[in-house]
Amino acid sequence: MDQDLPKTGVVFYSRSGHSKRIASKLAQALHSDLLEIGAPAYANGVFGYMRAGFDSLMQNHRLAPQAFTSLAGFDRIILCGPVWTSFPATPLRALLKGDIDLPDTVALFLTNAAHSPPAKAYATGSKDLGRSFAATACVANSLEDTEQEGRIIERFLKDLAEVQTSSVAN
């Protein structure tokens, strides 16, 4: 791998598998590490689904202990996960608001069921992070494995590369 490429971590939360699939595609394209956010409270099943929605609506942001304690060893991270009730999924928000060190460059790639436009989720995530994301994108679950999904991923990767190029130039 090229030594000039930034060390990238793709950190994801996925309850149903859509975000994990996107995160895997991003990690493969970027030759990066793939790290999963554990959230046992939202495990599959009706109760986990209901609790996920409730915690999202009530703005409960608790993060279970993770296998990683810092992400600062990466030059950049991409957070990937679903939109819940118009917000980034609670595990993503807990990470953004938590004590885990993050690098300066953080991007956000969301998945959704197409009933929650991503603009509010981007704004909420940026507020939780305390700064703007380096790049953002969202793909509807219904676009899984379509050309349109491929174009969205391609555009996101291009936006991320432009951020890297501009930071190297400065």
The CATH number of residue 155's host domain is 3.40.50.360
89 domain-assigned: yes
Q: Domain count of the chain?
A: 1
3 domain-assigned: no
1 domain-assigned: no
Rounded CA gap, 41 and 54, in Å? 12
To the nearest whole number, what is the mean pLDDT of the chain? 88
Angle at 160 between CA 157 and CA 161, to 5 degrees: 85
Quote the pLDDT of residue 110.
97
0.95 exceeded by pTM: no
2 domain-assigned: no
Higher-pLDDT residue of 132 and 40 is: 132
Amino acid at 147: E
The whole domain housing 152 covers: 8-169
Mean pLDDT calculated for residue range 33-51: 85
Q: Nearest Cα to 128, choosing from 64, 164, 79, 67?
A: 79
pLDDT band at 167 (very low <50, low <70, confident <90, very high): low
pLDDT over threshold 70, residue 165: no
pLDDT band at 100 (very low <50, low <70, confident <90, very high): confident
Tokens at 64, concatenated: 């279970």
